[in-house]
Amino acid sequence: MATFSNRFLVLYIVLSICAINISLVDSSEQTSFEDARCKCICPAYKANVNSTLPKRNVFIKDNIDPELCKCDYMLDKPDPKLCLLCQCKYESRNTTTIKVVVIIVICIISVLFVYMLFLLCLDPLITRRPTHYQEHTNEEVNLDDQSVTRMPLSGGRQRSIINRVTDEQKKWKGVVQEQRRNIYDKHSMLN
């Protein structure tokens, strides 16, 4: 049952990480990042040699009506001659998608990280008995043998699900170990 409680521990940590993320999101909910903008780029231009260059030549306004995305509305002091060469573009994006995706990415990385710690630190302590690596033979051939020997002896449905997960995990570990042997030890692949 030790593995069982540890599994819950892992799950708890993962959930709390996600909860922290979500609370961060909620606290910083502000409207200063709009999803639409109008951007005008005007060439730097001096009316005569002595006058100074304008300080800026990129003008951005957010949350503007697409109809108004024109040089005349965007510039503080519109110059019709300059406006001929200005390029105004109405652009939109979706910050919600970005937010969701970034949070999901953080969650996945956290989950993987926690699971990795579990595999590297806790798992060897729990399972005590040394797991000998056995040659990765063809799965299909001895699939039925394994399923026969590893049938749960007693217990309810939950127990068998846990067993199945453990079996699956054991199988996966064997596969990864084989891959590791190919790549890091034998250097037969992916050099």
**CB 33 within 8 Å of CB 138:** no
The token duo for 189 is 């692949």
Give yes or no for residue 3 binding other proteins (CB under 8 A).
Answer: no
40, exposed or middle or buried, with CB in 10 Å at 0-12, 13-18, 19+? buried
Which of the stretches 10-18, 115-123, 147-155, 157-165 binds other proteins when contact is defined by CB under 8 A? 115-123
92, exposed or middle or buried, with CB in 10 Å at 0-12, 13-18, 19+? exposed
In 3-state terms, what secondary structure has residue 146?
helix
Give yes or no for residue 105 binding other proteins (CB under 8 A).
Answer: yes
Give yes or no for residue 148 binding other proteins (CB under 8 A).
Answer: no
- Interactions with other proteins, residue window 15-34 (CB under 8 A): 24-25, 28, 30, 32-34
Contact residues for other proteins, defined by CB under 8 A? 24-25, 28, 30, 32-34, 37, 41-49, 53, 56-63, 81-82, 84-85, 91, 93-95, 97-99, 101-105, 108-109, 112-113, 116, 119-120, 136, 138-141, 143, 172, 175-176, 179-180, 182-184, 187-191
